């Protein structure tokens, strides 16, 4: 019986393992140190190349169409009409300081709609092209799936502008074939059910591949509306927006039978299980635990021991959150907890927080898993989107963008108004199967693979340069802001040109400095030795030869394991 239970758990884990991919954090104006709104996003995928997308603003003649590509395969799914005008988009922030992030939670597989034209990726990019606010983005996404069908499974979105931060969850309605009078077969359930909640000012939130919305305020015409009340969308008191049939559809499908007031989105459409808690919500808990008192109360939930005591969607932090905090949140491997990944056997002799994939594995017929932290090897890119209401839009919005895993990336600033993406981060400079020596993605990956070999030896050198660059860029942005505002008052075009050049120089500097660091690490740690240094230079012996390198060897924990397993083989006479 026990082995059957293990098999069932393994099958359940394996069926949804590809969904546990991304992590987002949301910070409101009142919770940030400088009045910015922040959202962060780690795009974790084994096929996702780290590059910064760019879509220029454009005017479209009547009849123009936009192709929607599947985010997972790049296969065209269909087309939707273009509006008269679309906005400039840099990665995941547009020229109006609207930003978007996402994580997939999957949910009920029977609700997938293979005929849906718009998937989660197209929803994000089209919303950014058409929105001047977070509320705009919610309506754009809702209207798109209603008109053209939703072609992904359960998805959660972070949506921000310079004043507000929203969280949205969406679930397809499945495929129910219906023959029309003309003989065409259509999907009678085309569209999706969804709910969006404004994170209260002064609070923070997060999501990581698990549905986070449980109960929510139902329609009262003031603080909560349905999509039948779009005319009230821009009433600042409105804090919940949802699809009008979200409860009725759950009843029809047999997912919910209680009173409307007790409706729980997650329970109906994506019930929480061990993996949703331990593999997903645990990542959110790590950030909450850093900034909020009392999070120990949810430890049993996030470790999968008690699924009944769920974490709240948002919490009030005990301190203000800075940009540096946002970057640090992305680099968590459970430091300071009993799950610290540098301390268990999987860390190897050099204390690595990284684990080889797959996430789930089996030994002697029993299922196991590696802890899934925010910091993971397969991150293609990540960012912190910063929007600032006190500055003109071209100056206020910044996407702090990094490639490869968050542990050793450098978040480099790109303003939301720049006219082009620097070559080092540009689409077309290499790809996942094409190496390019001056592409940021490959430069960072090359260094990271050295880090994976000797983590505890090299991470200090890496973090020193990382800290230096990111702190310098924050100071540079303060100077660039002032100059850009001065130029903006003369000519917006001059300001944008200045910011484009600043972002270009920062990108080039990041890649150049990281190449130098890569070379330095190779010389310093060649053949598992450690070169001696003095006054920032490698030390010589006085006759031109290298000073004898140090040979740290292995830690005692490794020696103990070797002796216990093969002591007789390696013992030598005293």
pLDDT tens per residue, range 445-497: 999 999 999 999 999 999 999 999 999 999 999 999 999 999 999 999 999 99
- Give yes or no: residues 335 and 441 share one domain: no
CB 87 within 8 A of CB 393: no
Q: Give the domain-ending residue among 369, 401, 434.
A: 369
CA gap 328, 463 in Å, rounded: 11
Q: Give the domain-ending residue among 335, 369, 403.
A: 369
pLDDT tens per residue, range 141-190: 999 999 999 999 999 999 999 999 999 999 999 998 887 778 777 787 88
What are φ and ψ of residue 427, in 5° steps?
Answer: -60, 130
Q: Is 383 among the domain residues?
A: no
- Give yes or no: residues 410 and 343 share one domain: no
CB 25 within 8 A of CB 287: yes
- pLDDT on residue 538: 96
Q: How many CB atoms lie within 10 A of CB 462?
A: 21
- Give yes or no: residues 327 and 259 share one domain: yes
Smallest CA-to-CA distance from 329 within 12, 19, 42 is with 42
Q: How many domains does the chain have?
A: 3
- Give yes or no: residues 220 and 147 share one domain: yes
- Give yes or no: residues 80 and 199 share one domain: yes
CA gap 112, 44 in Å, rounded: 22
Range of the domain at 46: 2-369
- Give yes or no: residues 117 and 8 share one domain: yes
For CA atoms 30, 34, 35, 37, give the dihedral sign. negative
Residue 168 per-residue DSSP state: E
Three-class SS state of 363: strand
CA gap 54, 426 in Å, rounded: 8
- Give yes or no: residues 396 and 510 share one domain: yes
Global pTM exceeds 0.85:
yes
Provide the token pair at 139.
């309506």
pLDDT tens per residue, range 252-297: 999 999 999 999 999 999 999 999 999 999 999 999 999 999 999 9
- Give yes or no: residues 163 and 120 share one domain: yes
- pLDDT on residue 15: 37
What's the per-residue H, E or C state across 95-148?
A: CCCCEEEEEEEECCHHHCCCCCCECHHHHHHHHHHHCCCHHHHHHHHHHHHHHH
pLDDT tens per residue, range 92-146: 999 999 999 999 999 999 999 999 999 999 999 999 999 999 999 999 999 999 9
pLDDT tens per residue, range 193-237: 999 999 999 999 999 999 999 999 999 999 999 999 999 999 999
- Give yes or no: residues 175 and 190 share one domain: yes
For 17-26, 35-44, 332-341, 371-380, which range has the lowest pLDDT when averaged over its residues?
17-26
Q: Looking at the predicted structure, is the pLDDT value of residue 344 above 50?
A: yes
- pLDDT on residue 19: 44
Burial of 178 (C-beta count, 10 Å sphere; 0-12/13-18/19+): exposed
Residue appearing with tokens 């029993």: 366
- Give yes or no: residues 85 and 132 share one domain: yes
Q: Is 414 among the domain residues?
A: yes
Provide the token pair at 525.
């740690």
DSSP per residue, 30-61? GGBSSS-EEEEEEEE-SS----B-EE--EE--
- pLDDT on residue 20: 55
Q: Is 375 among the domain residues?
A: no
- pLDDT on residue 10: 38
- Give yes or no: residues 191 and 70 share one domain: yes
């Amino acid at each position: 019986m026990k082995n059957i239970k293990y098999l069932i758990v393994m099958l359940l884990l394996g069926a949804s393992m590809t969904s546990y991919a991304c992590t987002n954090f949301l910070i409101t104006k009142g919770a940030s140190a400088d009045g910015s709104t922040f959202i962060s996003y780690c795009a974790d995928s084994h096929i996702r190349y780290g590059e910064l997308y760019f879509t220029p603003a454009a005017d479209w003649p009547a009849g123009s169409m936009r192709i929607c590509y599947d985010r997972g395969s790049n296969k065209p799914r269909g087309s939707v009409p273009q509006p008269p005008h679309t906005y400039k988009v840099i990665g995941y922030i547009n020229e109006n300081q609207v930003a978007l992030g996402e994580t997939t939670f999957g949910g009920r597989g029977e609700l997938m709609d293979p005929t849906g034209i718009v998937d989660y990726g197209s929803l994000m990019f089209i919303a950014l092209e058409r929105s001047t606010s977070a509320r705009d983005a919610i309506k754009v996404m809702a209207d798109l799936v209603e008109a053209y069908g939703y072609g992904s499974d359960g998805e959660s979105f972070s949506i921000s502008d310079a004043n507000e931060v929203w969280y949205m969850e969406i679930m397809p309605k499945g495929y129910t074939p219906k023959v029309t009078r003309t003989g065409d077969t259509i999907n009678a359930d085309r569209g999706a059910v969804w709910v969006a909640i404004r994170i209260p000012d002064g609070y923070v939130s997060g999501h990581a591949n698990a549905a986070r919305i449980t109960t929510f305020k139902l329609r009262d015409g003031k603080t909560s509306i349905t999509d039948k009340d779009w005319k009230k969308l821009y009433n600042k008191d409105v804090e919940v927006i949802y699809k009008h049939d979200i409860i009725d559809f759950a009843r029809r499908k047999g997912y919910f039978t209680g009173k409307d007031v007790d409706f729980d989105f997650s329970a109906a459409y994506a019930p929480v299980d061990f993996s949703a808690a331990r593999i997903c919500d645990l990542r959110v808990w790590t950030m909450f635990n850093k900034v909020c008192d009392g999070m120990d109360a949810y430890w049993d939930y996030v470790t999968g021991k008690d699924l009944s005591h769920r974490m709240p969607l948002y919490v009030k932090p005990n301190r203000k959150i800075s940009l540096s905090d946002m970057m640090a949140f992305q680099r968590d491997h459970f430091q300071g907890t009993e799950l610290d990944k540098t301390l268990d056997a999987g860390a190897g002799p050099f204390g690595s927080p990284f684990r080889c994939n797959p996430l789930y594995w089996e030994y002697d017929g029993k299922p196991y898993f590696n802890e899934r932290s925010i910091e993971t090897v397969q991150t293609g890119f990540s960012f912190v989107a910063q929007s600032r209401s006190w500055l003109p839009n071209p100056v206020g919005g910044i996407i702090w963008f990094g490639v490869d895993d968050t542990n050793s990336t450098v978040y480099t600033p790109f303003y939301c108004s720049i006219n082009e993406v620097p070559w080092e981060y540009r689409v077309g400079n290499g790809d996942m199967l094409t190496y390019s020596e001056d592409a940021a993605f490959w430069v960072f990956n090359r260094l990271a693979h050295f880090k994976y070999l000797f983590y505890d030896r090299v991470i200090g050198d890496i973090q020193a340069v990382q800290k230096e660059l990111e702190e310098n860029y924050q100071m540079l942005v303060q100077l660039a802001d002032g100059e850009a505002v001065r130029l903006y008052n003369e000519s917006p075009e001059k300001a944008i040109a200045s910011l484009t050049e600043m972002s270009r120089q920062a990108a080039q500097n990041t890649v150049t400095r990281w190449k130098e660091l890569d070379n330095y690490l190779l010389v310093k740690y060649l053949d598992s030795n450690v070169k001696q240094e003095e006054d920032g230079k490698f030390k010589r012996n006085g006759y031109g030869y290298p000073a004898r390198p140090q040979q740290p060897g292995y830690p005692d924990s490794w020696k103990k394991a070797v002796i216990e397993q093969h002591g007789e083989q390696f013992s030598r006479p005293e």
